[in-house]
Amino acid sequence: MSRHTANWHDEPTNHSQPGKLPRENTEQGLSAVAGSLSITAATADPGLLDLPWQIQLEDWPAETLAPLPRGISRHVVRFAMMGGAVIAIKETGEHVARHEYHMLRKLRRLAAPCVEPVAVITGRKDLDGNDLDPVLVTRHLKYSLPYRALFSQKLRRETLTRLIDAQALLLVRLHLIGFYWGDVSLSNTLFRRDAGSFAAYLVDAETGELYPELSSGQREYDLEIARVNIAGELMDLMEAGLIEDTVDPVATSEDILHSYRGLWAELNEKESFDLAERWRVDERIRRLNDLGFDVEEISLKTSPDGGQLLIQPKVVDAGHHTRRLLRLTGLDVEEGQARRLLNDLDAYRAKKHPDTDEEIAAARWVGDVFDRITGAIPREFHGKLEPAQIVHEVLEHRWYISEARGSNVPMEEAVASYVEAVLRHRRDEARLVFGPEEQSPGN
């Protein structure tokens, strides 16, 4: 890289204290490397300065790039190494890059499932002084995959249904906080395995806007965009022979409508029942918890004749099981994984430590079960799946082989069986490599 001056900065700039770096809230301003190159970033990571910003992104040298799965994108996108981390870099217009950067920051503050923004870099020039497109830099979501990367073989209908359900849940969570996406699609989403399902994360927010509350028209328009885009994506998969011939792309794309509307109704609709059925209040809360949502408060109203109650829960956030597991064990995992691990933790406590405080029993479960399983996985398989997913799959595998044998299988034997029969044959989802013919990740 040629020699450049450094002038890191933030937006907007504050020069009220001479001699100090300008700041906005907790952001540190940073600016640049190549002539007029400027970097807007949440934190000052010097590793950004080591990347070849004077080269068009599509021409970056292979030694700079990280070999991760690539999806479909209308932009040039590349994965690169920055220190010990992996980042995604997208070339786009300056206004779009800044809008998406700030939108992703707002979504992260609202605990929305999305990728983490790192920086916006503008003022790029090649070595001949020609202008290069600005870029948005985000942090790679570990163990996540674009939807096409999930299908090395034909996609079964059941797997497709789980993907669409995950997309519907993501859309509900975004709509609850007032986010209008405007470009809902499988391509603009990353997926992580979550026990027997998937967890979906927003990866492209360039068309999104935040509002105090969305109208039903805005929500329905987002749904229609999702239906049309998913139908097109499924047609592409069918043409490539990646889904079963019996799948109807158009009919299947409508599954997101049913999944979304059912979930939205469960979270938001009022429910009326007789005074004698007051147990239905607790039942409604349990259903919401099972969906992974916490309830902040319940509004109860009696009818004019006093013969009925009207209930409307105030749902605050997803992650009910995730938060409970984190509080008890310190393990931060996906919601479905947390639900499965909590089931095992509760069974462990009931069987071995019924009179022990929940927090103490949880600490013992981490050592006796979670750490015992992860510690028994051979080092060469550590990149296959994230630890929580491995523990979930080992517990499921142990249950199946115990049922087949008709007796309880020891944990050590279950882990060894799982490694040989299942894990050895799984793709490495920490570093899944595609060939050069694939396109860039769906940002």
Give 23 or 251, the one with higher predicted confidence. Answer: 251
User: For the chain, which residues make up each domain, given as ranges?
Assistant: 8-139, 145-266, 270-318, 322-425
Question: pTM score, two decimals?
Answer: 0.74
To the nearest 5 percent, what fractions of the chain are helix, strand and coil?
45, 20, 35
Average pLDDT value for residue range 132-154:
83
Please report which confidence band the pLDDT of residue 69 belongs to, taking 50, 70 and 90 as the band edges: low
According to CATH, the superfamily of the domain at 145-266 is Transferase(Phosphotransferase) domain 1 (1.10.510.10)
User: What tokens does 107 get?
Assistant: 């979504």
Q: Is 406 left (phi over 0), alpha (psi -120 to 50) or beta?
A: left
- The H or E element spanning position 82 is strand 77-82
Query: Strand pairing of 23-24 and 145-146?
Result: unpaired
Length of the chain, in residues: 443
Q: How many CB atoms lie within 10 A of CB 263?
A: 18
Q: How many CB atoms lie within 10 A of CB 138?
A: 24
Please report which confidence band the pLDDT of residue 437 belongs to, taking 50, 70 and 90 as the band edges: very low
Q: What pLDDT does 432 receive?
A: 40
Of the candidates 192, 182, 261, 270, which has an alpha carbon nearest to the alpha carbon of residue 228? 182
Q: What pLDDT does 9 receive?
A: 45
Any residues with CB less than 8 A from the CB of 50 and at least 6 apart, and which? 82
Q: What order of strands is seen across the sheet that includes strand 308-318?
A: 271-274, 308-318, 293-302
Interhelix angle 335-352/387-405, nearest 10 degrees: 50
* Each residue's pLDDT tens digit, 260-282: 998 898 888 877 877 777 777 77
Torsion (CA) 315, 321, 323, 328 in degrees, nearest 10:
150
Give 189 or 142, the one with higher predicted confidence. Answer: 189
Of the candidates 143, 161, 89, which has an alpha carbon nearest to the alpha carbon of residue 334? 143
Average pLDDT value for residue range 240-253:
85
User: What tokens does 102 get?
Assistant: 């700030």
> Cα angle vertex 347, ends 342, 350, to 5°?
125
Q: What pLDDT does 10 receive?
A: 44
Of the candidates 214, 10, 199, 223, which has an alpha carbon nearest to the alpha carbon of residue 101? 10
Q: How is 325-392 classified by DSSP, letter by letter? A: HHHHH-----HHHHHHHHHHHHHHHHHH-TTS-HHHHHHHHIIIIIHHHHHHS-GGGTTTS-HHHHHH
Residue 278: C-alpha distances to residues 113, 191, 299, 301 (Å): 35, 39, 13, 12
Q: What pLDDT does 30 receive?
A: 40
Task: Give the separation between CA 41 and CA 148, rounded to whole angstroms.
Answer: 31
Q: What pLDDT does 42 receive?
A: 77
Q: How many CB atoms lie within 10 A of CB 129?
A: 8
User: What tokens does 57 get?
Assistant: 């992104």
Q: What pLDDT does 316 receive?
A: 60
Average pLDDT value for residue range 286-290:
79
Q: How is 211-254 classified by DSSP, letter by letter? A: -SS--HHHHHHHHHHHHHHHHHHHHHHHHTT-B-TT--HHHHHT
Highest mean pLDDT among 42-56, 218-232, 326-340 belongs to 218-232
User: What tokens does 324 get?
Assistant: 């409970």
Any residues with CB less than 8 A from the CB of 418 and at least 6 apart, and which? 393, 394, 397, 398
How would you label 29-53 residue by residue, b for 16+ Cβ within 10 Å and e otherwise? Answer: bbbbbbeebbbbbbebbeebbebeb
Do 391 and 374 touch, CB atoms closer than 8 A?
Answer: yes
Ranges 57-66, 133-142, 284-293, 357-366: which has the least confidence: 284-293
How would you label 279-300 residue by residue, b for 16+ Cβ within 10 Å and e otherwise? Answer: ebbeebbeebeebbbbbeeeee
Q: What pLDDT does 439 receive?
A: 36
Asked whether the predicted pLDDT for residue 23 surpasses 70, the reply is: no
Residue 411 CA to its chain's centroid (Å): 31
Asked whether the predicted pLDDT for residue 55 surpasses 70, the reply is: yes
